Amino acid sequence: MSLALFRSRKTQPPVPHEREHEVAGRTLPLRIVENDRARRLTLRIDAGGRGLRVTIPPGLARGEVERFLERHRGWLEQRLAKVPVQPRVRPGIKIPLRGVPHLVIHEPGARGTVAVGEVDGQPALFVHGERTHLPRRVADFLKREAKRDILALVAKHAAAAGRKAKAVRFKDTSSRWGSCASDGTLSFSWRIMMAPPAVIDYLVAHEVAHLREMNHGPKFWALCRALCPGTDRCKDWLKRNGNALQAIDFG
């Protein structure tokens, strides 16, 4: 989501490029990016409400950016109200794994990294090692699970589509769940492992379909639905629930 406003032509001292901005009861990182081609101020909220980005023309005065943010405080508050507050990964929180909430339990005395089990019949993730490393260990666990599941799904869908991926990469992207480069390299956000299996399957089918159709035209969607019959339902699930998954703080 974004908002833009044309700038005036005054030039004053430059604005800082990174700082924090308080809005809607949250303190969010704010990045201010100069773009030589920009003719207006553009404000964007990162996926999951994890930060703000303002794109400005070169040499814009600090005061103009501050006034721009203040004028659109209501716009920000309205949209941030729809975004869940970032839950930080810690003992006692529930993290979904393949769509099923798992209770995070810290076991500092145990060896290893993360193990899947149950506590009183409730799915759980047992995270070993020092407390300070717990969020990273959970993130690393999701990355390993993503690599295992998604590589298998890429092979399945690529064979059905009659194409072959050049490479498969895993990232923590805030703007998209997956991508297909022109050279055939597929990229996926490992956070998708928190979604139900059908949604993971859809995302992989979507990106594999781009190996044949580098667009979102009728032929692309026909192929995507052939690879994944639940495309429309899963696409809608990701649209409704994706922000909540992006908002989880693994830092």
Please write the tens of the pLDDT for every residue from 69-83. Answer: 999 999 999 888 877
- From residue 9, give the alpha-carbon distance in Å to each of 33, 39, 40, 62: 17, 10, 10, 13
Using 50, 70 and 90 to split pLDDT, how confident is the model at 95?
Answer: very high
Distance CA 74, CA 55 (A): 19
Query: Can you say whether the dihedral through the CA atoms of 209, 214, 219, 221 is positive or negative?
Result: positive
Question: For residue 216, is pLDDT > 90?
Answer: yes
Distance CA 212, CA 226 (A): 13
Same domain, 206 and 111: yes
Residue 48: what pLDDT? Answer: 66
Closest CA to 88 of 50, 121, 117: 50
Beta strands 18-23 and 94-97 are unpaired
Give the mean pLDDT of 135-159: 97
Distance CA 170, CA 172 (A): 7
Domain assignment present for residue 51? The answer is yes
Residue 217: what pLDDT? Answer: 96
Domain assignment present for residue 162? The answer is yes
Question: For residue 57, is pLDDT > 50?
Answer: yes
E-assigned strand segments in 78-195: 94-97, 100-107, 114-119, 122-128, 167-171, 178-180, 185-189
Residue 92: what pLDDT? Answer: 93
Same domain, 171 and 127: yes
Domain assignment present for residue 89? The answer is no
Query: In terms of residue numbers, what domain contains 6?
Result: 2-80
Same domain, 105 and 168: yes
What's the DSSP call for residue 51?
-
Edge-first strand order for the sheet with 100-107 is 94-97, 100-107, 122-128, 114-119
Give the mean pLDDT of 92-109: 94
Distance CA 165, CA 152 (A): 12
Domain assignment present for residue 228? The answer is yes
Same domain, 160 and 184: yes
Domain assignment present for residue 179? The answer is yes
Same domain, 129 and 214: yes
Question: For residue 144, is pLDDT > 60?
Answer: yes
Determine phi and psi for 55, rounding to 5 degrees: -100, 130
Please write the tens of the pLDDT for every residue from 1-46. Answer: 556 555 444 444 555 588 888 887 778 889 999 998 888 999 998 8
Distance CA 219, CA 87 (A): 39
Determine phi and psi for 178, rounding to 5 degrees: -165, 170
Please write the tens of the pLDDT for every residue from 192-207. Answer: 999 999 999 999 999 9
Residue whose token pair is 């941030």: 80
Closest CA to 167 of 198, 196, 195, 188: 188
Domain edge (last residue) among 23, 57, 80: 80
Using 50, 70 and 90 to split pLDDT, how confident is the model at 208?
Answer: very high
